[in-house]
Structure 1
Amino acid sequence: MGDAATWNHYARQCRNGLAAVDAQRRLVFANPAFCSYALQSDGVREGRPLSEQALDHALLDGLAAGLNTIGEDGAEFVWEHGASGDSRSCLCRILPPPNGDGHAIIEITELPDEERARQILAAERTAMEHIEAQKERGRRLILDIIEELPVFVYMQRRDYNVAYANRKTRNLYGEPNGRLCYEMFSGRDSPCPFCPTFKVFETNKPEEWQFTDLEGRSFHIYDYPFEDEDGEPLVMELGMDITELKRVEQELVQAQKMRAIGVLAGGIAHDLNNNLLPIIFNIDYELSKAPEGQASEALTEALKAAYRAADLVEQVLDYSRQQNFSRSPLQLIPLATEYLELFQPSLPSSVRLFMDFSARQDCIVGNPSQVQQLLLNLCRNAVQAMPEGGDLDICIRNLRVDSLKHTPHPGLSLGEYVVLTVRDTGHGMEADRIERIFEPFYTSKKGTGGTGMGLAVVHAIVTSSRGVIHVNSTPGEGTEFTVYIPVAQERKPPVVAEPNDSGATRGRLLIVDDDSRALQAMARTLGNAGLEVFTAESGEEGLERFINARHRFSLVLADHTMPGMTGVDMASRILAHDQDANVIICTGHVEPELEEQALAAGIREFIMKPMTPRALVETVKKYCSHAAQ
């Protein structure tokens, strides 16, 4: 029976009657409960046979029969006993001695009468109802909390039925009403080929994954094993909306690319443009003297290639400096109308242009040159997508976003927008290409002159204007670019006086550049335009020549990036010597901050290499119309 002290302690505290009988049927132990029920007088005569104890006669007979039975087959003996003259009844059990040696144990468990049984059952029923009510209140509390959570939560059954969906889920996908999960969330008519949710049913372990629905919303999903009130297995799914997070992440990646391209562009633009300038100027010079024929055609092709290279450098620079443009309120429709009037004559005859400018409010915060560049790149991209011809539709309208639930694009916030749409009927794009079209240098038009920078510049312009761009394309049917830019408060344009006629193109000009090839090419072109040209190959030499000339130069045209004294440093010293001097910086690359400082210090303007010979002459004419005598 184990340790005697432990047994005695347990037996005396037990509510059931317990007694021990040795092999000679002598009562060797009885606890208080046994004495209270079985003995007709207090006390136990330990060591005396049961027959000599003050026991109820019917109980004594039952004990005798039970002891005989366990002595024969070694099994416990159980019977129900009712005490004489007492309404109480009990269940008696005799346990045989272990291994046939030791004491037999007598246990008496009192059975309640019928009334007490009813009371006990009623009490138990009340207790169970209270427990169930507590469980139901707890369940309702949990469901009420889940109902108001700002994440979508739903319960999934094995048979694909949606057992429960909270308010957020219903707002996004409608009422479940017995719908299957793949119908409700993916718009499918058959189960998804691979669904991590159903792994939870198999493993009974949580799963974590990401999901993008038909509307383009992205969610981080957490699946957990669960049970309904009947114990049937469920999966509880929580979905955190990460659409905006992914958009910001993409914008951050794009911004990092911009910074990287900017660093690259700044490092190579000056040298590339300095090399391109003498190529362009010298080919242009030779082309002006070459007779018509194969040589002329070859020079023309070379000149076109040089201009394409210069354009690519400029696009890279434009992409890298979108954030640094000055912006102010402007009207989009007049600007777009003016540009498209100039653009339309260059369209192939097989491309039809349609315009629908119905916006009542077309004021945005932007930069005119950026807007023109945006239109140029979108229209050029559309025309290139229609080599066999087609329709080019350009639309400007308004859109008011009053509800984020019904916004046409997840990146839009509440408010009024000017919406620019450029649509073509070209060959369209596959989904995997749409995801990459705004990456710098990504192009599908390598054989037709595409550089991969046009749409990257478009994306940079739109995002720097706090706008959003969306692409919708179907292979074989065409592509639609939609640009959303917030409406701005209108501002009257300033009155700008028309410049006076520049007069004759004679004058004395000093060109300063450390690149002798660029220096000679510009000197030749400007000399042929009727100017008296002097040159210097460093900032120090240029400063000395200007001072020694005693105010006889109409204009100083200087490169900026030169060893020793830079062009801006030289210009500052010239202006300190003669505040009325005209100085233009002509360079392959300059940071916007430096440009602002230089213009504030009195430098007339910056022009970027490589320019066309005509553009250089026209710029110089503004300052050399009256030659210094």
Structure 2
Amino acid sequence: MASTLEVFARHSANPLVIVDGAQQIVYANNAFCRLLPPDSPFPEGRRLATLPLPDCLRRALLGGLDEADLTGVDLSLPVEITSGSDREEMTCRTVRLPDNTVAVELLRHAGIERLKSALREEKVLRRQSDMLRERGRKLFFDVVNELPVFVYMQRRDYSVAYANKKTLAFYGEVKGRKCYQMFGGRDDPCPHCPTFRVFDTGKPVDWQFTDDEGRTFHIYDYPFEDENGDPLVMELGVDITELKRVERELFQAQKMRAIGVLAGGIAHDLNNNLVPIIFNVDYALGKADGTEVEPPLAEALRAAYKAADLVEQVLEYSRQQDVTRSVLHLTPLARENLGILQGTLPEHVTLETDFSAERDCVLANPSQIQQVLLNLCRNAVQAMSGAGTLSVRVSNLRLESRKDAPHNGLALGDHVVLTVSDTGHGIEPGSAERIFEPFYTSKTKSGGTGMGLAVVHAIVTCSGGSIRVDSRPGKGTTFTVYLPCTPTPEVKTLARETKPAVRSTGRLLLVDDDAGALQAMQRVLRDAGYEVFTADGGTEGLKEFFRGRGQFELVITDQSMPDMTGMEMAARILEHAPGTRVVICTGHVEPRLEAQARETGVSGFVMKPMSPRTLVENVNKYRS
């Protein structure tokens, strides 16, 4: 079996021949045999001088052998072979072998030059490729450095390999800092970091992250390599803080609309049931003065009013866009209401006020702003079980740059700022995000309904303002309301109107499909001195009106009735008797109903449920 060297020599592209001391050929490879004519016998066993080789090549081979014999060392001699017009340069290399034979190899210069040329070309191409790669890398990082999103690259050891301008603007210098120190303000790695899934799987991931400054980012992680081929993760962070804020507000608005639809659906029936409860318990309470049934009746009446108040709070959601707003001064309104509130504060709570606002005019509904102030103050008092301080401040904020805004989304310009603070137990971090949700409450044991702060949020938002809460467990809570300033109105002096004396008697028509509500209101109005006629529906109400046409000073009708709505009945009455005063009594006024009432000529609305006194006061107002 041929040795490895023999196989190599046989297939070498360079002619190779081995001769003994008498210059007789011991071995010739295939490349050497191709130098001989095709019909030449195999060269082994023949003397080198007798081979039919070109003269120049024979002389070169023999001269190389003679020189090797003379010097006794291995040689490399240049050889030039000419055949016609062809000329080829070679090197004749002699190597003395251990068995005293000599190996003669012819190295073709053209092949070597081609190899050298190829190597040179490869080196040039590699240099050009490196230059192009470096230029591309520089261009890539120049572009990344100017992106409006933060981009950084992370190693497996949590160190930061690169950070663009946006990242530096957010988090400062990165040198020597770990990623969890930069972004999370932590002393140890974040648990379950999604970035390391990219190192493990080599596939991109995306996730959301909120840093220790409260900024929220959508993160996109991609596998990457540094210039040495070591793995990196390239992270792109898109700031979605403002988007999340808008998303939360949109979600809040959707919940408000849903609650409004729900309220509109149940308010009529619920209020119709509350009217006879309130009126009858109030009537019974008036007859039970000093008896043993007086306390339980009073407790039942308070519960009924509390239920009515809850319905009213829920209905705020469906009426926010249509309440009447006017220019009002916040400071005197706050002073007046806090003066009333101070007399009801527990002994352990101290009230502190600071009215430093130079401009305190806002465009809002006075009763709604009063509701905001009192709800926030009641919450603050309930949060202080021991001794504490309730602080109320009215101040100004002039915002000229969004970067100076106390929170995202606050409009530029002048604001009146209402701040209500307490030194109570604070709000748990998990609850702070939900306190403005309808029906969410942490005071279930004390009877909280979860509507107070929801209504506050709705009022402030629909008044063009915003509200923020800052709280730490055990350190107290601060609610801050921002309302846009509005120009101070001009003060006009009006002549005092002389109102005619209110008559205590008159004839009324009362229409309602609920028998309990109808009887309860009839009794209260009769006790007030009125002559009251009743009808249990719209059709009967029309018949009763036209039977006594011209005799009724006021028509009071329910809105939601099965055979004919109160508005439809009012339209029929006013069509034939335009001067008639008609009042709609309902538990829910939609914007469309309010507009229709104005067009029809309806005098106004009385909201269910009401107290007996409120009903009488409204009748006196609308009939005069």
TM-score bracket, shorter-length normalisation:
0.7 to 0.9
Rounded to whole Å, the distance in 2 between the matches of 1:495 and 1:19 is: 125
Given that 1:27 and 1:47 are in contact with CA atoms closer than 8 Å, whether structure 2 keeps it comes out as: no
Matched, 1:556 2:548: no
In structure 2, the residue matched to 1:464 is 462
Q: How does 1:504-519 map to 2 (within 5 A)?
A: 504-519=503-518
Given that 2:14 and 2:32 are in contact with CA atoms closer than 8 Å, whether structure 1 keeps it comes out as: no
In structure 2, the residue matched to 1:139 is 137
In structure 1, the residue matched to 2:171 is 173
Q: In angstroms, what is the RMSD of aligned CA positions?
A: 3.7
In structure 2, the residue matched to 1:83 is 78
Change (3 A) 1:345 1:25: closer
1:274: Cα distance to partner?
0.5
Matched, 1:575 2:567: no
Match of 1:390 among 381, 388, 397: 388
Given that 1:554 and 1:623 are in contact with CA atoms closer than 8 Å, whether structure 2 keeps it comes out as: no
SS at the partner of 2:182? helix
Given that 2:257 and 2:317 are in contact with CA atoms closer than 8 Å, whether structure 1 keeps it comes out as: no
Rounded to whole Å, the distance in 2 between the matches of 1:266 and 1:92 is: 108
In structure 1, the residue matched to 2:235 is 237
Given that 1:506 and 1:624 are in contact with CA atoms closer than 8 Å, whether structure 2 keeps it comes out as: no
Given that 1:277 and 1:611 are in contact with CA atoms closer than 8 Å, whether structure 2 keeps it comes out as: yes
1:47: Cα distance to partner?
4.4
In structure 1, the residue matched to 2:211 is 213
1:473: Cα distance to partner?
1.3
Given that 2:391 and 2:422 are in contact with CA atoms closer than 8 Å, whether structure 1 keeps it comes out as: yes
Which digits, 9 at most, give the CA deviation of each residue in 1:471-524, with x for residues without a partner? Answer: 211112211112233344554478776672543322222211111111111111
1:609: Cα distance to partner?
0.7
Paired residues, number: 573
In structure 1, the residue matched to 2:417 is 419
Q: How does 1:113-124 map to 2 (within 5 A)?
A: none
In structure 2, the residue matched to 1:53 is 53
SS at the partner of 1:439? coil
Rounded to whole Å, the distance in 1 between the matches of 2:172 and 2:149 is: 15
1:451: Cα distance to partner?
0.5
Rounded to whole Å, the distance in 2 between the matches of 1:266 and 1:426 is: 37
Change (3 A) 1:180 1:401: farther
Given that 2:319 and 2:589 are in contact with CA atoms closer than 8 Å, whether structure 1 keeps it comes out as: no
Given that 2:219 and 2:236 are in contact with CA atoms closer than 8 Å, whether structure 1 keeps it comes out as: yes
Given that 1:557 and 1:586 are in contact with CA atoms closer than 8 Å, whether structure 2 keeps it comes out as: yes
Q: How does 1:288-367 map to 2 (within 5 A)?
A: 288-327=286-325, 329-367=327-365
Rounded to whole Å, the distance in 2 between the matches of 1:330 and 1:540 is: 45
Rounded to whole Å, the distance in 2 between the matches of 1:289 and 1:106 is: 133
Change (3 A) 1:582 1:27: closer
Q: State the one-letter code of the partner of 1:52.
A: P
Which digits, 9 at most, give the CA deviation of each residue in 1:175-196, with x for residues without a partner? Answer: 2233221221111122222322
Deviates more, 1:412-421 or 1:161-170: 412-421
1:24: Cα distance to partner?
6.9
Rounded to whole Å, the distance in 2 between the matches of 1:46 and 1:494 is: 129
Change (3 A) 1:486 1:168: farther
1:615: Cα distance to partner?
1.1
In structure 2, the residue matched to 1:276 is 274
In structure 1, the residue matched to 2:451 is 453
Change (3 A) 1:516 1:234: same
Match of 1:436 among 431, 434, 437: 434
1:90: Cα distance to partner?
6.2
Q: State the one-letter code of the partner of 2:512.
A: D
Which digits, 9 at most, give the CA deviation of each residue in 1:378-413, with x for residues without a partner? Answer: 222212222334211122223344444443223335
Given that 2:224 and 2:232 are in contact with CA atoms closer than 8 Å, whether structure 1 keeps it comes out as: yes
SS at the partner of 2:213? coil
1:612: Cα distance to partner?
1.0
Rounded to whole Å, the distance in 1 between the matches of 2:401 and 2:257 is: 35
1:564: Cα distance to partner?
1.6
Given that 2:91 and 2:108 are in contact with CA atoms closer than 8 Å, whether structure 1 keeps it comes out as: no
Rounded to whole Å, the distance in 1 between the matches of 2:229 and 2:498 is: 86
Q: State the one-letter code of the partner of 1:527.
A: R
SS at the partner of 1:83? strand
Change (3 A) 1:85 1:230: same
Match of 2:162 among 161, 164, 169: 164
Change (3 A) 1:126 1:474: same
Rounded to whole Å, the distance in 2 between the matches of 1:141 and 1:409 is: 37
Q: State the one-letter code of the partner of 2:415.
A: Y
In structure 1, the residue matched to 2:607 is 608
SS at the partner of 1:214? coil
Given that 1:90 and 1:109 are in contact with CA atoms closer than 8 Å, whether structure 2 keeps it comes out as: no
Q: State the one-letter code of the partner of 2:37.
A: R
Deviates more, 1:415-424 or 1:515-524: 415-424
Rounded to whole Å, the distance in 1 between the matches of 2:352 and 2:543 is: 59
Gaps of at least 5 residues in structure 1 are 1-10, 31-38, 65-78, 94-103
Which digits, 9 at most, give the CA deviation of each residue in 1:592-614, with x for residues without a partner? Answer: 22122203432121111111111
In structure 1, the residue matched to 2:530 is 531
Change (3 A) 1:511 1:29: farther
In structure 1, the residue matched to 2:69 is none
Which digits, 9 at most, give the CA deviation of each residue in 1:67-125, with x for residues without a partner? Answer: xxxxxxxxxxxx995524799776999xxxxxxxxxx9998764469xx98x9999877
Given that 1:59 and 1:81 are in contact with CA atoms closer than 8 Å, whether structure 2 keeps it comes out as: no
Deviates more, 1:486-495 or 1:321-330: 486-495
1:574: Cα distance to partner?
2.0
Given that 1:557 and 1:584 are in contact with CA atoms closer than 8 Å, whether structure 2 keeps it comes out as: yes
Change (3 A) 1:481 1:57: farther
In structure 1, the residue matched to 2:3 is none
1:352: Cα distance to partner?
2.1
Given that 1:426 and 1:477 are in contact with CA atoms closer than 8 Å, whether structure 2 keeps it comes out as: yes
Rounded to whole Å, the distance in 2 between the matches of 1:247 and 1:62 is: 95
1:220: Cα distance to partner?
1.0
Which digits, 9 at most, give the CA deviation of each residue in 1:336-358, with x for residues without a partner? Answer: 33333343333333322222232
Rounded to whole Å, the distance in 2 between the matches of 1:283 and 1:321 is: 29
Given that 1:363 and 1:487 are in contact with CA atoms closer than 8 Å, whether structure 2 keeps it comes out as: yes
Matched, 1:259 2:257: yes
1:57: Cα distance to partner?
5.4
Change (3 A) 1:495 1:610: farther
Match of 1:186 among 184, 187, 190: 184
Rounded to whole Å, the distance in 2 between the matches of 1:63 and 1:270 is: 123
1:434: Cα distance to partner?
1.1
Rounded to whole Å, the distance in 1 between the matches of 2:593 and 2:537 is: 20
Rounded to whole Å, the distance in 1 between the matches of 2:492 and 2:338 is: 24
SS at the partner of 1:52? coil
Change (3 A) 1:414 1:194: farther
In structure 1, the residue matched to 2:564 is 565
Q: State the one-letter code of the partner of 2:520.
A: A
In structure 1, the residue matched to 2:484 is 486
Matched, 1:593 2:588: no
Which digits, 9 at most, give the CA deviation of each residue in 1:513-569, with x for residues without a partner? Answer: 111111111111111112222212122222232233232222111111112221111
Given that 1:28 and 1:46 are in contact with CA atoms closer than 8 Å, whether structure 2 keeps it comes out as: no
Gaps of at least 5 residues in structure 2 are 1-10, 18-26, 66-73, 82-87, 95-104
Which digits, 9 at most, give the CA deviation of each residue in 1:429-466, with x for residues without a partner? Answer: 11111122122111111222210111111222233234
Rounded to whole Å, the distance in 1 between the matches of 2:361 and 2:411 is: 18
Q: State the one-letter code of the partner of 1:583.
A: V
Q: State the one-letter code of the partner of 1:46.
A: P
Rounded to whole Å, the distance in 2 between the matches of 1:406 and 1:175 is: 23
